[in-house]
Amino acid sequence: MARELSTIRNIGIIAHIDAGKTTVTEQMLYMSGTKHRAGAVDSGTTETDDDPEEQQRGITIFAACVTFRWKDCTVNLLDTPGHVDFTAEVERCLRVLDGAVVVFSAREGVEAQSETVWRQANKYSVPRIVFINKLDREGADFYRVLEEIGPRLNAEPVAIQIPVGQGPSHSREPFQGIIDLIDLKMLRFNPEDQGKTVLVEEIPTELLDDAMDWRNVMLEKLYLHNSEMMELAMEEKPIPNELVRAALREACVSLKLQPVLCGSALHGAGVQPLLDGVASYLPCPLDRPPVTGVDPKKREKSLERKPDPKEPFCALVFKILPAKTGDMFWIRVYSGKLDSNSRVYNPNRDKKENVAQLWQIHATKRERQGQIETLECGDIACCIGPRDSITGDTLCDTRDMIELPSIQFAQSVISMAIEPENTVERKKLSEVLEMLKRQDPTFHASENSESGQTLISGMGELHLEVIKNRLVRDHHLNVKFYKPRVSYRETVAKSVEVLGQCNRQVGSQQMFARLQVRFEPLEDLSGKVVVVDRTPIEKMLPDNLRQAALEELKNRSEGGGMIGSFPLTGIRISILGAETAEVGSDEVAFRIAANDAFDEGLKLGGPSLLEPVMKMEITTPADYLGEIVGDLQQRRGMIERTEARGAITSVTALAPLKELFGYSSAIRSLSQGRAGCSMEPQGYQTAPKEDAEAFAL
């Protein structure tokens, strides 16, 4: 797979649900000649939504990768979900991508999940271009969406295209094509071949002034980022189009601007210029900074790997597809080369792994994938052979080792109990759940030793429903499902200092240890428990005793709290001092003292129950706003903002997850099916006193 790195584009399609990501992907495959006809989401014939659950629901659930050629470029494209329950798929993809296409609906504009994926792209410093889709729909407004992007996303969009007309064919000024502000040409797209034929025309006289105004807006934004363009403008000299494109690329790659394009992907309008934009403005691997990591043996030593085939091999596992013939590990290669039938090192597990086969990825269709012998830096592909690696692990050269930063996923917020019918089903269920956990880092499963029930946890009702259907339909398991429950957490209400002691006679031996420990709540209630040693250096314990105490406190913090044995969160536990005796102060004594301090700290700190809170964005016709706001208030919801968008009103609110089970059905009932809602985890807040008392009984 050796090729010029400058011709590789590793990109993702990201957006809110139903903005048209999968349709854009299908049209890109069609325009590039990879498919003879573009599939349709509604009919379940798309290349990337090939799971039965995706085809039935008409949404993307699992990220899919396809590779195609566009002119001189090889494009590795990841189509990602838009539903918040599957935001981990977006997270893992953005972690390994060089660039992204963000799709907005020209009718709905910037929505809740649009903000989420934009923040995720910011987190990984991913350059992006924007595609405003669905310009042929009723209520489409390119200019309103363009105005929303800047303030709502803290972005710097710059339009390089504007639409000619907006709305369906029966409207007064229907969408007819787009104006290219760089070449100053009008582009029309032949509907008979799904827009594959592009007609380049002169801009009609009545539209020329408007086009020049928008071109000047584009140029003025670019002057701030390109001194050569500024000098030409000051000298009133013409600015070459190639210089405009070069300035756009430089500003886009450096995250200063986001070029905005437009069209209607359903009819193929604007997709070819979008592909040209991917090739022209999004970065290749050489444009991205070297990846950084640490030496797994000397963690304080920082290392970096450049995108060079001659550098030591280094890759990141970002997705795993379990299969009977061997799990398929999707990897992004950052440096060096990887050959099939070779050995690599996984520093996260401290294991050497075999790489038996390498495959080109084409969604999940093995028959469409090609087996390859070598991968090079810049490639996104699949390997078969590793056994111990999981999502987020590094694979590297066995001699020149490096550990890259892993992928951090959001905590699961909802769970349900499942129970197998018999012992045979229990064993099969355990195997299937382990497989699903390897595939989905936000899915968790554990067995309650007392009740015998298995608890599965996920990111939302839809997430658990998809898991449930897969267990029954795909794996033919005979299991019972019980009502979903909220994943509560516990913390302490106040800061306390306690003294943990061990002073006992065991046989002829006296055991003695004392630990002074502080428990204090953290501002970030969703964060994990932090255990630190703040003992003054002159009073520091011997290393073996210190490690024993820290280890015991960490182990206890990973268990449950005092209210309902829910996981502990948002607590800092600090060792402030210790006392030893000449005889009997060993590791066991300090473990006992640490346990005593832990129990006392939780008790005196005031156990506090935390409940997950969801951020909601509701879009509704104004006629139903009063009923929806009233219903939210009954659910303990807090309205943050209401915003009128034409005939539609957007409501942003926070509400406890406990009160939101079945909310999608409730909102449809309140609005005669005309309102919609999306939600995402916002964090945790203190639960009502009566809930904590109910668990304590």
pLDDT score of 3? 59
Domain match, 599 and 476 both: no
pLDDT score of 540? 86
Q: Which residues pair with 456 in a beta bridge?
A: 416, 445
Report the alpha-carbon distance of residue 186 to residue 269 in Å, rounded: 12
Report the alpha-carbon distance of residue 58 to residue 40 in Å, rounded: 9
The two beta strands, 161-164 and 73-79, are unpaired
Taking alpha carbons only, the member of 551, 537, 541, 533 closest to residue 578 is 541
User: Helix, strand, or coil here: 408?
Assistant: coil
Domain match, 225 and 108 both: yes
Number of Cβ within 10 Å of residue 4's Cβ equals 12
Domain final residue pick, 561, 577, 605: 605
Count of domains for the chain: 5
Domain match, 377 and 419 both: no
Instruction: State yes or no: pLDDT of 367 exceeds 50.
Output: no
Inside any domain, residue 570: yes
Burial class (CB in 10 A: 0-12, 13-18, 19+), 190: middle
Could you tell me the CATH number of the domain that includes residue 528?
3.30.230.10
Report the alpha-carbon distance of residue 224 to residue 128 in Å, rounded: 19
Domain match, 257 and 275 both: yes
Domain match, 169 and 262 both: yes
Report the alpha-carbon distance of residue 360 to residue 381 in Å, rounded: 5
Could you tell me the CATH number of the domain that includes residue 663?
3.30.70.240
In this predicted model, what pLDDT tens digit does every residue of 83-138 receive, in sequence order?
A: 777 878 899 999 999 999 999 999 989 887 788 889 899 999 999 999 999 999 99
Inside any domain, residue 402: no
Taking alpha carbons only, the member of 104, 497, 98 closest to residue 263 is 104
For residue 34, give Cα distances in angstroms to 38, 198, 236, 327, 375.
Answer: 10, 18, 45, 26, 22
Domain final residue pick, 487, 512, 529: 487
Domain match, 28 and 75 both: yes
In this predicted model, what pLDDT tens digit does every residue of 204-239 receive, in sequence order?
A: 999 999 999 999 999 999 999 999 999 999 998 999
Q: Which residues pair with 680 in a beta bridge?
A: 615
Number of Cβ within 10 Å of residue 452's Cβ equals 10
Domain match, 324 and 261 both: no
Domain match, 27 and 117 both: yes
Whether the Cβ atoms of residue 513 and residue 585 lie closer than 8 Å to each other:
yes
Provide the residue type at 137 as one letter: R
Whether the Cβ atoms of residue 379 and residue 9 lie closer than 8 Å to each other:
no
Instruction: State yes or no: pLDDT of 673 exceeds 90.
Output: no
Residues 6+ apart with CB under 8 A from 212: 184
For residue 174, give Cα distances in angstroms to 168, 200, 225.
Answer: 5, 19, 36
Size of the chain in residues: 697
Band (pLDDT 50/70/90 cuts) for residue 62 is confident
Whether the Cβ atoms of residue 111 and residue 617 lie closer than 8 Å to each other:
yes
What whole-number percentage of the chain has pLDDT above 90?
60
Higher model confidence: residue 300 or residue 356? Answer: 356
Number of Cβ within 10 Å of residue 693's Cβ equals 11
Instruction: State yes or no: pLDDT of 446 exceeds 50.
Output: yes
pLDDT score of 18? 86
Cα 259 from chain centre: 23
The two beta strands, 157-159 and 357-359, are unpaired
Number of alpha helices (DSSP H) and beta strands (DSSP E) in the chain: 16, 37
Taking alpha carbons only, the member of 173, 176, 172 closest to residue 163 is 176
Whether the Cβ atoms of residue 347 and residue 301 lie closer than 8 Å to each other:
no
Report the alpha-carbon distance of residue 236 to residue 230 in Å, rounded: 10
Taking alpha carbons only, the member of 501, 505, 498 closest to residue 593 is 501
- Our CA angle for 266, 73, 10, nearest 5°, is 75
Higher model confidence: residue 58 or residue 602? Answer: 602
User: Helix, strand, or coil here: 6?
Assistant: helix
Taking alpha carbons only, the member of 254, 269, 159, 166 closest to residue 211 is 159
The two beta strands, 351-355 and 342-346, are antiparallel
Number of Cβ within 10 Å of residue 440's Cβ equals 22
Provide the residue type at 598 as one letter: F
Inside any domain, residue 406: no
Instruction: State yes or no: pLDDT of 505 exceeds 70.
Output: yes
Residue 413 has φ and ψ, to the nearest 5°, of -125, -10
Average pLDDT, the chain: 89
User: Helix, strand, or coil here: 450?
Assistant: coil
For residue 366, give Cα distances in angstroms to 356, 359, 360, 608, 650.
Answer: 16, 9, 9, 50, 43
3-state SS of 312-363? CCEEEEEEEECCCCCCEEEEEEEECEEECCEEEEECCCCEEEEECEEECCCC
> In sequence order, what DSSP letters do the residues of 466-477 get, joined into one string?
HHHHIIIIIT--
Domain match, 235 and 359 both: no
Domain match, 257 and 300 both: no
Instruction: State yes or no: pLDDT of 368 exceeds 80.
Output: no
Report the alpha-carbon distance of residue 534 to residue 578 in Å, rounded: 11
Band (pLDDT 50/70/90 cuts) for residue 243 is very high
Domain match, 120 and 190 both: yes
> In sequence order, what DSSP letters do the residues of 44-98 get, joined into one string?
T--SS--SHHHHHHTS--S-EEEEEEETTEEEEEEE---SGGGHHHHHHHHHH-S
Whether the Cβ atoms of residue 378 and residue 451 lie closer than 8 Å to each other:
no
Give the 3-state secondary structure percentages of the chain, helix then strand then coil, rounded to 5: 30, 30, 35
Inside any domain, residue 222: yes
Inside any domain, residue 552: yes
Residue 327 has which token pair?
């799990």
DSSP code, position 526: T
Inside any domain, residue 95: yes
Band (pLDDT 50/70/90 cuts) for residue 1 is very low
Inside any domain, residue 401: no
Domain final residue pick, 605, 625, 660: 605
HSE of 97, CA atoms in CB hemisphere, 13 A: 33
Domain that holds residue 646: 610-696
Whether the Cβ atoms of residue 120 and residue 6 lie closer than 8 Å to each other:
no
Band (pLDDT 50/70/90 cuts) for residue 415 is confident
Whether the Cβ atoms of residue 478 and residue 424 lie closer than 8 Å to each other:
no
Report the alpha-carbon distance of residue 92 to residue 81 in Å, rounded: 12
Could you tell me the CATH number of the domain that includes residue 20?
3.40.50.300
pLDDT score of 32? 93
Domain match, 316 and 388 both: yes
Inside any domain, residue 647: yes
**This prediction's pTM:** 0.76
HSE of 246, CA atoms in CB hemisphere, 13 A: 9
In this predicted model, what pLDDT tens digit does every residue of 310-335 receive, in sequence order?
A: 999 999 999 998 877 788 999 999 99
Whether the Cβ atoms of residue 445 and residue 467 lie closer than 8 Å to each other:
no
Could you tell me the CATH number of the domain that includes residue 381?
2.40.30.10
